[in-house]
């Protein structure tokens, strides 16, 4: 038995030494290449869309259907849940304040509040294009001062009845005939190129 343990120990030690001596001979991983901004925007959008859809369907709709708590525009005063659009806007604000340069926000041609209107001609044209063909984002390079940014505008669809009923009944809404799955506007994702 002692001989077996000694042999096992020697074998394990040989593998350990072999592993240590072979480690420096292993190939280095290839140098990481820059990720194209289109891919980065797609990654960011996938996360934003998944979070918003999950919040809308598994939190807001579920809590309202069970009469536990509602989502309201004045959620802080009403001791309620933020509306799905507010959830996205607040998370976008936190990302913007992180200092990483990436920004995302909701925009629309028929916004309830003007702060959600297109800020540039590119955004306005992108929203018009998405209204006609919402199957893929509208992308481009935009400038702000001396800096250049990649911007992607993705269609923002009404993923629940909460989205539709809020927009259709809001006193400031310029459009009141949204239906489920309609393109209500866009999610603008802006990424610095420097």
pLDDT tens-digit profile of 19-48?
Answer: 434 444 445 555 556 899 999 999 999 999
Domains held by the chain: number: 1
Residue 10 domain-assigned (yes or no)? no
Residue 161 domain-assigned (yes or no)? yes
Residue 101 domain-assigned (yes or no)? yes
Residue 99 domain-assigned (yes or no)? yes
Rounded mean pLDDT of the chain? 84
Output the pLDDT for position 107.
97
Helices (H), 23-120: 37-54, 61-65, 75-78, 84-97
Domain carrying residue 155: 36-192
* More confident: 11 or 102: 102
d(CA 60, CA 83): 8
Residue 114 domain-assigned (yes or no)? yes
CB 94 within 8 A of CB 159: no
Residue 30 domain-assigned (yes or no)? no
Residue 128 domain-assigned (yes or no)? yes
Percent of the chain with pLDDT over 90: 60
| pLDDT tens-digit map of 139-175 | 999 998 899 999 999 999 887 777 788 788 888 888 8
| pLDDT tens-digit map of 177-191 | 888 888 899 999 999
> 0.75 cut: is pTM over it?
yes
d(CA 140, CA 134): 16
Output the pLDDT for position 109.
93
Output the pLDDT for position 33.
66
Residue 135 domain-assigned (yes or no)? yes
């Amino acid at each position: 038995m002692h001989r077996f343990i000694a042999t096992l120990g020697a074998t394990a030690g040989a593998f350990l030494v072999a592993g240590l001596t072979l480690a420096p001979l292993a190939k280095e991983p290839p140098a990481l290449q820059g990720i194209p901004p289109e891919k980065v925007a797609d990654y960011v959008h996938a996360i934003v869309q998944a979070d918003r859809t999950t919040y809308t369907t598994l939190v807001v709709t579920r809590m309202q259907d069970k009469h536990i708590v509602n989502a309201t525009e004045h959620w802080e005063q009403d001791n309620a849940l933020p509306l799905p659009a507010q959830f996205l806007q607040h998370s976008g604000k936190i990302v913007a304040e992180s200092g990483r340069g990436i920004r995302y926000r909701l925009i629309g041609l028929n916004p309830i509040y003007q702060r959600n209107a297109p800020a540039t001609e590119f955004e306005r044209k992108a929203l018009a294009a998405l209204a006609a063909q919402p199957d893929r984002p509208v992308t481009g390079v935009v400038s702000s001062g001396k800096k250049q940014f990649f911007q992607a505008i993705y269609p923002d669809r009404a993923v629940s009845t909460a989205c539709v009923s809020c927009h259709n009944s809001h006193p400031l809404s310029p459009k009141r005939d949204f239906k489920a799955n309609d393109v209500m506007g866009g999610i603008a994702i802006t990424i610095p190129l420097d």
